[in-house]
Amino acid sequence: MKYHIITYGCQMNKSDSERIASVLEKIGCQATNKISKADLIVINMCSVRQSAVDRVYGLINKPKSKTQKIILTGCILPPDKRKMKNKADLIFNIKDLPKLPLMLKPAKLTNLETRSPNNLETWSPNYKSPNYLSLSSSPTSTFSAYVPIMTGCNNFCTYCVVPRTRGREFSRPVEEIINEIKDLIGKGYKEIILLGQNVNSYKGKIKNKKLKNLKTEKYIDFADLLKLIDNFQGKFWLTFITSHPKDLSDKLIKVMASGKKIMPYLHLPIQSGDNEILKKMNRGYTVEDYKNLIHKIRHHIPFVNISTDIIVGFPGETKKQFKNTAKLMKWVKFDMAYIARYSPRFGTIAANFEDNINYEEKKEREKLLTEILKKTALKNNEKYLGKTVEILIGKNEKNFSWGKTKNLKNIKINYAYSYGPLTSSKNNSVHSCHKLPNPQLKNKKNYFFNPGKFVKVKIIKSTPWRLEGFTRI
Ligand code: SAH
Ligand code: SF4
Ligand code: F3S
């Protein structure tokens, strides 16, 4: 039996899909990357904006072969669940993932041999556990792994579905996270990405008091967890998403600043640069709070890469309020920003406000912010020209590789040429160089660095979205 998983949404969903894959594989299914060849098509949904939901409607309404079955899971809102019910063969709550094999048989979705609940223990020792995150995962990458440390959210920003689709915050116990990470490092993983909707409010139960000499405490916070992992043996990089500005503590900044493996990268969603809108969004901080935070972070963590999320066209957002966001963006000089047009969501508080900014205006505002981002990102990237940095190789293509720096800058490495002396030109970001065929490649059949390898690269070009460099082979 073959399965194919289609994943929408954030890294949390991507990570969940790796756990779904692991469960399906344990009961004997095999992955296929062709939808047409799949017996089971699993769609892991995101409902954060209507556009993501519409794509799923498009998929499930497409003709498919009679033998193919559709399974829906992930973040689904109740009205969509009702409407999708007769198009899907099974809809299950991701938290019930440990019981998925039990659901497949009655739903007539599998011809695999019947597994009685008694021998479920053999493939899923945790199938009775309410904590689906304790199931093992089948990472798609061989060197970079997502490790969810928590799920859910208690913040109830007025526009957001996440507390409704994922429920309240749940933090995984410390030992469980530690064991998973140690296992990954032992298998050669080089990048560990801790996941949570709001990692800063992590509060993990600790059973082993010997950990970190914790004598009395039963729980540890996120900064302590990070420090603990940072002290693990081996060469790897460690990062996390997402941080909420209202919960990012001085303690965490200190841990990041003194960390050996912690990547100098922070995704810190601002959402708006106007205090009135921030209040209407229920974000719990002001523009001034955010600026102070940026100040502290930049002071303590050199070369920190800061990215953000912004919503344009929130109900009632005036031109002046939008300009405040543009002003803040220019002040912060983000390296990256994910700019979203406001989309009213069922069941949220903001759904009661009038969605009065029309589509064209939202698009225009998005465009203006993108232009600001392009400029600040380019300016930030120009600082790397001529520098030699360590990078982690991601994937290879003909004549070049993709990788990332420790502060999560994308980088393209060109192997086909060797470069002459660098001379900086003032007006553009490209350092002029002589592109010459690389003589060293002539006698090398396989000159690519393998994904997951750390190499040193000299940066010779910068664009807003990536750096380019070369390395001597
Ligand atoms: N936990 C993260 C965000 C998760 S949702 C945080 O607190 O920031 C990811 C992003 O989607 C949000 O940061 C927001 O910018 C965007 N988003 C959420 N709800 C939205 C909506 N109704 N319309 C448009 N964008 C939205
Ligand atoms: Fe949504 Fe706000 Fe929670 Fe982020 S913090 S997941 S935006 S409710
Ligand atoms: Fe989407 Fe759910 Fe993530 S709504 S953004 S997949 S938490």
Here the CATH number for the domain that contains residue 320 is: 3.80.30.20
Q: Are residues 331 and 423 located together in one domain of the fold?
A: no
Please say which residue of 101, 123, 145 terminates a domain. Answer: 123
What local confidence, expressed as pLDDT, does residue 356 receive?
97
DSSP 8-state class, residue 8: -
Confidence of residue 59 (pLDDT cuts 50, 70, 90): very high
DSSP 8-state class, residue 402: E
Amino acid at 49: R
**What is the end-to-end Cα distance of the chain in Å, rounded?**
44
Nearest to 85 by CA among 107, 110, 100, 116: 107
Confidence of residue 303 (pLDDT cuts 50, 70, 90): very high
What local confidence, expressed as pLDDT, does residue 472 receive?
62
Q: What does the pLDDT look like over 417-473, one tens digit per residue?
A: 555 444 444 444 344 444 545 555 555 555 677 899 998 888 989 999 999 988 765
Torsion of CA 152, 154, 160, 162, to 10 degrees: 10
Torsion of CA 368, 374, 375, 378, to 10 degrees: 180
Please say which residue of 362, 382, 402 terminates a domain. Answer: 382
Q: What does the pLDDT look like over 389-430, one tens digit per residue?
A: 999 999 988 778 899 999 999 999 877 655 544 444 444 434
Nearest to 48 by CA among 271, 374, 287, 276: 271
Q: Are residues 249 and 363 located together in one domain of the fold?
A: yes
Please say which residue of 123, 140, 170 terminates a domain. Answer: 123
Q: Cβ(75) to ligand 3 under 6 A? A: yes
Q: Are residues 232 and 364 located together in one domain of the fold?
A: yes
Q: Which ligand is nearest to the CA of 243?
A: 1
Q: Cβ(8) to ligand 1 under 6 A? A: no
Region 129-145 average pLDDT: 87
Residues with CB under 6 A from ligand 2: 153, 155-157, 160, 162-163, 197-198, 244
What local confidence, expressed as pLDDT, does residue 201 receive?
95
Beta-bridged to residue 436, according to DSSP, are 418
What local confidence, expressed as pLDDT, does residue 148 receive?
97
DSSP string spanning 238-275?
A: EEEE---GGG--HHHHHHHHH-SSB-SEEE---B-S-H
Return the best residue to mutate from 166, 195, 244 for the ligand 3 pocket (most ligand atoms within 8 A of CB).
166
Q: For 129-138, 158-167, 199-208, which range has the lowest pLDDT when averaged over its residues?
A: 129-138
Percent of the chain whose pLDDT exceeds 70 = 85
Q: Are residues 106 and 235 located together in one domain of the fold?
A: no
d(CA 262, CA 304): 11
**Which domain covers residue 374, as residue numbers?**
132-382
Contact (CB, 8 A) for 23 and 53: no
Cα 155 to averaged position of ligand 3 atoms, centre (Å) = 14
Region 175-181 average pLDDT: 95
Return the best residue to mutate from 156, 309, 342 for the ligand 2 pocket (most ligand atoms within 8 A of CB).
156
Amino acid at 409: K
Q: Are residues 152 and 179 located together in one domain of the fold?
A: yes
- Total domains in the chain come to 3
Q: Are residues 92 and 152 located together in one domain of the fold?
A: no
Q: Cβ(197) to ligand 1 under 6 A? A: yes
Mean pLDDT estimate for the chain: 88
Q: What does the pLDDT look like over 83-125, one tens digit per residue?
A: 999 999 999 999 999 888 888 876 666 655 444 444 444 444 4
Judge whether residue 276 has pLDDT over 90: yes
Cα 160 to averaged position of ligand 1 atoms, centre (Å) = 6
Confidence of residue 64 (pLDDT cuts 50, 70, 90): confident
Sequence-ordered list of residues with C-beta below 8 angstroms from that of 270, at least 6 positions apart, any chain? 245, 290, 308, 309, 310, 325, 328, 332
Q: Cβ(49) to ligand 1 under 6 A? A: yes
Torsion of CA 170, 176, 177, 179, to 10 degrees: -170
What local confidence, expressed as pLDDT, does residue 440 receive?
56
Q: Are residues 156 and 59 located together in one domain of the fold?
A: no
Judge whether residue 216 has pLDDT over 90: no
Residue 117: Cβ-neighbour burial (10 angstroms; 0-12, 13-18, 19+): exposed
Sequence-ordered list of residues with C-beta below 8 angstroms from that of 48, at least 6 positions apart, any chain? 9, 10, 75, 160, 161, 162, 343, 345
Q: Are residues 401 and 443 located together in one domain of the fold?
A: yes
Token pair for residue 16?
Answer: 């969940």
